Structure 1
C-alpha cells in the first residue's frame, strides 16, 4: 500500500489535518546497531528521575527500536518472545493505515507478550529510548503484540523518551480475551526534534476491557492512531487521552472504535491544552454495525487554548447501522475563564499559580480516568512537570 500510494496527501480525509510532507523530506538513516551507551544511560536515568519511575517495576527496554536485555527485567507469569516469533505467527495482511504499512516494511524487533488465562501479571514498564547519533536523523519501527488469555490481567506503562532527531514508529497488535483486563497508559515524551507515528490495533473479547490513556507531551510531530474492535458481547473499551503542547508542536489523536457485537460499551474523553503556535488534532469515530444492538458509546473532546495563535481541529463522528443504541459525541473549545482567574487573583494567588490551578483542574477529569492508581500517579506527575517547565 505504501509503496503504491506513498505518504498521504492533504486530500486524504484521514490525514486532512496532519501533513507528513516534512517527514518525507528527511533522509532518515537506519538506527546504529551499537548506540552510545553513556547517552542511553543518561536518557534512561533522566526519565526515571523526571517521572519518578518505580525501579522495581518489571521492564522491557528498547533502544532505537531494538530490545536491550541488559536494561530489561521481564515479569513473572507471562510468556515473552521476540519479533522473529511474532513475525512467523502472523498471517495477517498489512494494515491499510500509513504508519502500520511503514512498520510492516521496516520492522526489525519487538515484544511478543502473552499472559496465561487467569493470571494477574501486575505491571510492566515498556520503555522506548531514541538515541540519535552524530546529528544524523534515524528511524526505528518496533512491532509489539500483547495477548491476554481468558480472565487475565496486565497494566502497561508505555513510555517513549529520547534525544536528537529520529522517527519512532511503533505498532501494537493487542488481543484481550474473554473477561480479561488490559490497562495501557502511554506517555509520549519524545525529544523536541523527534517525530512519532504510532498505531494500536486491538480486539476485545466477551466481557473484556481495554483501558487506554495517551498523554502527549513531546515530539515536533506526533500522531497516535487507535483501531479497536469490540468483537463479542459485553466488551468494553476506554480510549482516553490528553495533549499538552507548546511552541510549534503538532499532535494528532485519531481513533476508530468499531462495535461489532451487542451490549458493548465505549468511552472516549480527550483533552487538549495548547500554547504558543501549537496545533492539536482530534479525529474520533464510533462505528456501530447492524448486529451491535444495545451499544453504549460516548465521545468528547475539549480544548483549552492558552494563546491566540494555538489551534485545535476536532472531528468527532458517529456512523450507526443499528437501531437500539445510545451514542453521543461532542467537542468544546475555549480559553481560561477570566472570571475564575480574577477570583483566584483576588484571593492573593499570583497569576502564574492561578493559571496553573485552572489548567490542572481542566485536566483532572481526564487523568483521573486511568484505572491503575500507580500509572495514574505517574502520568499526574508528568502533567505537573510539563506545566512547571512551561511556566518557568
Structure 2
C-alpha cells in the first residue's frame, strides 16, 4: 500500500514557492543538495499545527493562511525607503549590517567600522563559492523543527560573523532586517561565533519601511559563545501590523561564559521567537529576558528551551507580556537538566498583564530534571492592573491612560533592568513607550 500525505492549500503553496525560487537561491553542488534534503524534511512534517505539542498555541496552518512568494532583490527605490526606516530602530554607536528583503545591502552597512579582531562575510558569498562545498555545513542544524528546515531550504542571505579570541568589541554590532516589499517572503540566516574570552554586544532589529505590508519573515541565528566569553544579545521586533515573523535561535554556550539575551516583540500580526540554548561548558551563566507588547488581534509566541548539559551552570529566565484588545500572548519555557548536570541552578518566571476582557495569555513553564543535586523552580501568573494603584495615580491628577502607562512601565521594568548596558536599556524603554503612545 502506498501512503500519500495530504497537503493543505498553504503547504502546497510552500512547495510551489520552493520550486519557483530554486534557481534563484545561492549555492550549487553540496549546498543545493542540503537544500533539497531540508525541504524534503519540511514536507514530511508540514507546517506546524496545534497537534504538535511545541506548536499547540501557534497553529501556522490556521494563522498564516497562505505563503507569500520569495521577495525579489531590492532596487534603488527600495534601498532608499529602507534607509529611512533604519532611523526608527538605529542604535547610537552601533555598526550596522543591513538586510533588505532578505538581501545584504553593503551601501547601508558599516563593515569597515568594526575594526580588528572581527570578520564579517555574507552568507550568499560563502554559499556561492563553488570551490568550497564544505560550507554547506552552514545550512545544517541540530534541530529537526519544520520551520528551521524550511529556512534551510529557502535561505537567501545573512551574515557570518567571527570574533577572535580575546577581542573586546568597542561598539555593538546591529543586524537590521528591513522589509520594503508587500505580500512577499524573506528567508535569512546568520552565524555569530565568539572566540575564547571575547566580549561583544549583538543587536537584531526587524522593521518595516513605509508601504510594506503582509510580508513574511523566516530568520535563524546560530550563536557560539566560546569559553570565558561574554555576549549581550538584544532583539527588537517592530514589524508591520499584518506581517508574519518566525525567528529561531540555536545557541551553544561554552565553559565559564556569560550570555545575556533579551527579546522584545511589539509588532506583527503573527510572531514566534523560538530559541534552543545548550549550556555545554561548566560554570556558564545564562540570563534570558523577554517582553511581548500585543494589541488588536496580534499573536506573539516566545518558546524557550534551556538544556543544562553539564554541571555547575546557572540560568535565569524572566518574561513579561502586556496584552490589550484581543491579543494573544504565548510563553512556553522548558528547562532540561541532564543526568550529569549536578549543581544546576535554574529558575524561570513568566507574568502576563491583561488589559481587556478578551485578551489571552497562555503560559507553560516546564522542568525536566534527571539529576538529584539541583536547585530549580518555575512560576507563572496572569492578572489585570491593580485598581487601587490606578485610583491612587488618578487621584493625583493623571488621566486613566497615563496612569495605566505608568503602571505598565513599572511592570516591564523588571525585565528591562536586566539589560546591562544603560544606553540599550534606554533604547528598549523608548521602544516600549512608542507602543504605549499608540495605545493612547
| TM-score (norm: length of structure 1) | 0.95
Name the counterpart of 1:8: 48
Residues 350, 381 of structure 2: 8 Å contact kept: yes
1:152 matched to which residue of 2? Answer: 198
SS at match of 2:293: strand
Residue 313 of structure 1: which of 324, 339, 362 is its match?
362
Distance 1:32 1:301 in 2: 40
Preserved CA contact (<8 Å) 2:329 2:361 = yes
Superposed CA offset, 1:42-82 (max 9, x none): 3442441x44632x421100001111001000211311122
Q: Which residue, 14, 35, 38 being the options, matches 2:77?
A: 38
In structure 1, runs of 5+ residues without a counterpart are: none
When you count strand as a share of all residues, which structure comes out higher?
A: 1
CA distance in 1, matches of 2:386, 2:161: 46
Asked if 1:234 is matched to 2:272, the reply is no
8 Å Cα contact 2:191/2:222 also seen in 1: yes
C-alpha separation between the residues in 2 aligned to 1:365 and 1:197? 26
- The answer (yes or no) to whether the contact 1:40–1:129 under 8 Å persists in 2 is no
Shift of 1:93: 5.0
Deviations 1:120-148 (A, max 9, x none): 12301110001114xxx111111100000
Structure that is richer in helix per residue: 2
Quote how far apart the aligned CAs of 1:95 are: 2.5
Q: Distance in 1 between matches of 2:360 and 2:416?
A: 22
Tell me: CA distance 1:150–1:174, structure 2 relative to 1, closer, same or farther (3 Å): same
Q: 2:149 aligns with which of 89, 97, 101?
A: 101
Q: Report the Cα distance in structure 1 between the residues aligned to 2:343 and 2:229, rounded to whole angstroms.
A: 21
| Residue-by-residue CA offset, 1:18-50 (whole Å, 9 max, x unaligned) | 110245531411111234x334433442441x4
Distance 1:189 1:298 in 2: 29
CA deviation after TM superposition for structure 1 residue 372, in Å = 2.2
- Name which of 412, 423, 431 aligns with 1:363: 412
2:36 alignment counterpart = none
Match of 2:306 in 1: 257
Aligned length: 385
Q: Is the 8 A contact 1:51 1:381 kept in 2?
A: no
Q: Secondary structure at the match of 1:371?
A: coil
Secondary structure, aligned partner of 2:385:
coil
Q: Pick which of 82-91 and 5-14 moved more.
A: 82-91
Deviations 1:83-134 (A, max 9, x none): 143744448456211221110110111111000001012301110001114x
Deviation at 1:285, TM superposition (A): 0.1
Q: CA separation of 1:43/1:390 partners in 2, compared to 1, >3 Å: closer, same or farther?
A: farther
Distance in 1 (alpha carbons) for counterparts of 2:421 and 2:207: 22
Contact 2:49 2:58 in 1 (8 A): no
Contact 2:74-2:101 at 8 Å conserved across structures: no
| Equivalent of residue 266 in structure 1, options 311, 315, 323 | 315
Paired position in structure 2 for 1:177: 226
Aligned residue number for residue 254 of structure 2: 205
Separation of aligned partners in 2, 1:53 and 1:262: 37
Deviates more, 1:252-261 or 1:343-352: 343-352
The equivalent residue for 2:17 is none
Of 66, 82, 101, the match for 1:26: 66
Alpha-carbon distance between aligned partners in 2 of 1:93 and 1:343, rounded to the nearest angstrom: 53
RMSD (Å) for aligned C-alpha atoms: 1.6
SS of the aligned residue for 1:2 comes to helix
Q: What per-residue deviation string (whole Å, max 9, x for no partner) do you get for residues 344-391 of structure 1?
A: 111222211111111101011111111222222211110111101111
Larger Rg: 2
Residue 207 of structure 2 corresponds to which residue in structure 1? 161
Q: Which runs of 5+ in 2 are unaligned?
A: 1-40, 128-134
Normalized against structure 2, the TM-score is what?
Answer: 0.85
Structure 2 SS opposite 1:170: strand
Q: Does 1:325 align with 2:382?
A: no
CA change 1:354–1:300 in 2 (3 A) is same
Secondary structure at 2:339 match in 1? coil
Shift of 1:9: 2.4
Aligned twin of 1:59: 96
Q: Which has the larger displacement, 296-305 or 19-28?
A: 19-28
Tell me the equivalent position of 1:111.
Answer: 159
| 1:143 alignment counterpart | 189
